[in-house]
Amino acid sequence: MPAAAVKKIADKLTDAEKKKKKQENKLKANPEKAAEKAEKNHARRVRRGQEKEEEEKKIESMTEEEKEMAEQEAKDKEEKKLAKAQEKLSKPKESSAEILARIKKKQEAERLEKRKSEM
């Protein structure tokens, strides 16, 4: 018996290829917006810790004074971060009973206010 005839499919782009093509066209049409978006995405990746900022490149072109100032700023930033963490830890934590009591008190005050306004 002869083999079943294989039906040929025309070369079509996949969805992923279509999306890439569309993005390329957008880039060509609006290079300013594309640059803004790329910068925004880079900043987002830096915040997440996925990438490092391009400070290494800047450091090479700095003078000694600028390097010292940059180091001091980094230290100050780190100290500020640590102080904030210490402050957060030093605050006494409310127990769940205290939180519920505070909420009930607030709700009761709102109910009384509402009753007064209805009269």
Asked whether residue 55 carries a pLDDT value surpassing 90, the answer given is no
Position 7 scores a pLDDT of 67
pTM higher than the cut 0.75: no
- Cα separation, 43 vs 59, whole angstroms: 19
User: How many CB atoms lie under 10 A from the CB of residue 35?
Assistant: 11
Average predicted confidence (pLDDT) for the chain: 83
User: Which residues are within 8 A (CB) of 45 and not within 5 positions of it... i.e. 6 or more apart?
Assistant: 51
Please indicate whether residue 1 or residue 99 has the higher confidence score (pLDDT): 99
Q: What digits encode the pLDDT tens for the residues 64-76? A: 888 788 888 888 9
